[in-house]
Structure 1
Amino acid sequence: MYQEERLNKIVDYIKQHGRVSIQDICNLFGVSRDTARRDLLRMEEIGQVIRTHGGAILPKQANEVHEYRERLVRESEEKHRIGVFAASLVNDGDFILMDASTTVQFAAEHLTSTNVVVVTNSIDNADVLSKKPAVRTYLLGGELHPQHRFLFGQSTIDKLRDYQVDKLFLGACGITPDGLFYLNEEDGFVKREMIKRAKQIVVLADHTKFGTQMFYRVCGLEAIDLLITDKQPEQAFVEILQQNNVELLIVSEEGMTE
Structure 2
Amino acid sequence: MYQEERLLSILDYLKENKRISVEQICSLFNISRDTARRDLVKLEEESKIVRTRGGALLPSIHTEIKNYSHRLNIVSDEKKVIGKKAASLIYPGDRIILDASTTVQSCAEHINNTECTIITNSINQAEVLSSNSNINIQLLGGILEKEHRYVYGSSVIDKLSEYNVDKVFIGVVGISESGLTIAHEEDGAVKRKMIQQAKQVIALADNTKLGNTDFFRFADLQDIDLLITDKTPPQAFRELLHKHHVELLTAEINDQGDE
CA spacing shift, 1:73–1:44, aligned 2, 3 Å = farther
Q: Post-superposition shift, 1:44?
A: 5.4
Aligned residues: 244
Deviation at 1:86, TM superposition (A): 0.5
Separation in 1, partners of 2:64, 2:39: 24
Amino acid at match of 1:82: I
For the pair 1:242 / 2:231, whether they are aligned, the reply is no
Query: 2:219 & 2:251 partners in 1: Cα distance?
Result: 24
- 1:197 counterpart residue number: 197
CA distance 1:116–1:154, shift in 2 (3 Å): same
Confirm or deny: 8 A CA contact 1:180 1:219 kept in the other structure. yes
CA-atom RMSD, angstroms? 3.3
Query: Structure 1 residue 217: deviation in Å?
Result: 0.4
Distance verdict in 2 for CA 1:161–1:48, change over 3 Å: farther
List alignment gaps of at least 5 residues for structure 1.
none
Q: Which residue of 1 aligns with 2:60?
A: 59
Query: Aligned to 1:163, what secondary structure does the other structure show?
Result: coil
Kindly indicate whether residue 181 of structure 2 is the aligned counterpart of residue 181 of structure 1: yes
TM-score (norm: length of structure 1): 0.82
Q: Call closer, same or farther: CA 1:142–1:245 in 2, change over 3 Å.
A: same
Distance 1:174 1:237 in 2: 13
Distance 2:29 2:126 in 1: 54
Distance 1:162 1:47, change over 3 A: farther
Structure 2 CA distance for partners of 1:54 and 1:156, relative to 1, 3 Å: farther
CA shift digits 1:122-162 (9 cap, x unpaired):
00000000011111111000000011111000000011011
- The equivalent residue for 1:100 is 100
Any gaps of 5 or more consecutive residues in structure 2? none
Q: Quote the Cα distance in structure 1 between the aligned partners of 2:170 and 2:114.
A: 21
Classify 1:241/1:55 alpha carbon distance in 2 versus 1 (closer, same or farther; 3 Å): farther
Distance 1:86 1:241 in 2: 18
**Which structure is larger by alpha-carbon Rg, 1 or 2?**
2
How has the CA–CA distance of structure 1 residues 120 and 56 changed in structure 2, closer, same or farther, with 3 Å as cutoff? farther
Q: Trace 1:157-236 onto structure 2 (pairs within 5 A).
A: 157-236=157-236
